Amino acid sequence: MIALLLALAAGPVVRTDDGPVRGEAAGRGAVFRGIPYAAPPVAGLRWRAPQRPRRWTQVRAAVATHAACPQIVYGDWNRAAAAASDEDCLFVDVRTPALAGKRPVLVWIHGGSNRAGAGGGTVESRITDRGIVLVSVQYRLGALGFLSHPALSREQGGHSGNYGLMDQQAALRWVARNIARFGGDPARVTIAGESAGAMDVGLHLLSPGSRGLFRQAIEESGTAGFGTAPRSLAGNEALGVRIARRAGLPATASAAQLRALPVAAVLSADAGVDVPELDDDSFVWLQAIVDGRVLRDTPARLLAQGRVNPAPLLIGTNAKELTLHGGLPAAAATVRREYGGNAERALRRYGLQPGGTPLRDPRLGDITDQLATDVTFRCPALVVADALAGRGGAVWHYQFDYAPPGGAVAHASELRYVFDPPQPGEPPLQAYWAQFVKTGQPNGAGLPVWPAYVPATRVSMAFHQDGPVVETDVRKDLCALRDMP
């Protein structure tokens, strides 16, 4: 409490359009944690579009850690966030190198399968030393953020779901209105995210409600489709009914009954629901939801038709991301499902035909690593890059394949090289990312030239143990057999 009072007395004050906030001084700049960008989505505001917060006039301390959005524990990686979660969680954090001036802005959308994780901690990064303002966004997760239900659709003009994406749009509107007061330039906003955060970035490229809210985009290890078939509004409503029934409500439950459910009951029902169309139920909120409002068509059709919010894009994957759910016994069935009419050719290429030797690669891993990464991450990212660059968009593609001695590349292992201070011999991701945020392309003085993506050659920057290397035809033989973004 004493530390909080001292920070309140000594830190810099910024007057947002909702009320004044006092942050913590950081050199010439400042860090602000837990600024409300929307009203708490509780009681009658649960499962509704986010609303502006109630204005305040007294200076609000924005120096302490804050609650994450509600989630259960899925492992050690989100244990702290789950323990400190609350429905009052719609906050942005801001770090700025100086309150004066107009600097480009990086808005980070955290990952976690759209059902876990938190935005807190991101602004401890000193990427801002490179002359950018960093904003981290929290948004509703899991069923609280993405559930559809017939009762909700009836009261909301025939649409429900995707509330987490609406939260992110509200946060971007907050940035547009307020970031100049923090030394940022609202006309130069880059949205970025990893895993589910990258999926959400990809959906903002396709959502009419996101148009004009950003200038550039970064997708790390995720796409709008995430390699899974999209879910229709009717399908998501049916899923919502199953979740509500698991929480103890009848199939005909009203919106009021849904909103009266304890948070714990919603989380438990969400975590335990079976999704027959998915091998791995943990992907339940990684299917794009075509609700007709936030997302008006499937990602594949929107990309094919060029119905995209124009923005330079930096996109890529790690050489190894996740292993295959079900392991080697599930490999052949996965290929048949994911590659459709090209399955026999893909089975031969993966070495999964009778008598074949399943692929193994020192960089890409065994067949379970390669297949999971191809169908969920690598091939969808290349499809997105092909679609946007093929229509004249500016795209830069990468594959991350660096690990410290004795380590291994895995999902999210590139993040430390984006946000942590670079060390000698490490890949210069932070320098490339900062250049992209500042200029709309990743190249800069002292950096190996990173060519723009060209569909014909699939030119890519590979971050290897011995430094960045330009490669072409990344996984072209296998990814050419699959077209789901």
Kindly report the number of other CB atoms within 10 A of residue 263's CB atom: 14
| 159 flagged as catalytic | no
| 195 flagged as catalytic | yes
Query: Which residue in the block uniquely carries the two structure tokens 């970031």?
Result: 179
Beta bridge partners of 464: 467
Q: How far is CA 16 from the centre of its chain?
A: 26
| Strand 133-137 with 91-96, pairing | antiparallel
Beta bridge partners of 107: 135, 191
In whole angstroms, give the CA distance from residue 179 to residue 182.
Answer: 5
What is the H or E stretch that residue 94 is in?
Answer: strand 91-96
Kindly report the number of other CB atoms within 10 A of residue 158's CB atom: 11
Beta bridge partners of 467: 464
Q: What is the DSSP letter of 318?
A: E
The one catalytic residue in 221, 411, 413, 414 is: 411
In whole angstroms, give the CA distance from residue 179 to residue 184.
Answer: 5
The dihedrals phi and psi of 112, each to the nearest 5 degrees, come to 130, 35
Contact criterion met (CB below 8 Å) for 315 and 385: yes
The one catalytic residue in 219, 220, 237, 321 is: 321
Beta bridge partners of 289: 231
Contact criterion met (CB below 8 Å) for 309 and 302: no
* 361: its two tokens: 């690669």
The letter for the amino acid at 384 is V
| 66 flagged as catalytic | no
Half-sphere exposure of residue 89, counting CA atoms within 13 Å on the CB side? 25
The one catalytic residue in 195, 207, 210, 413 is: 195
For the chain, helix, strand, coil in percent to 5 are 35, 20, 45
Interaxial angle between packed helices 343-350 and 331-339, expressed in degrees from 0 to 180 and rounded to the nearest 10: 140
What is the H or E stretch that residue 134 is in?
Answer: strand 133-137
Mapping DSSP onto H, E and C, the string for 168-211 reads HHHHHHHHHHHHHHHCEEEEEEEEEEECHHHHHHHHHCCCHHHC
Kindly report the number of other CB atoms within 10 A of residue 451's CB atom: 14
- Catalytic positions are 195, 321, 411
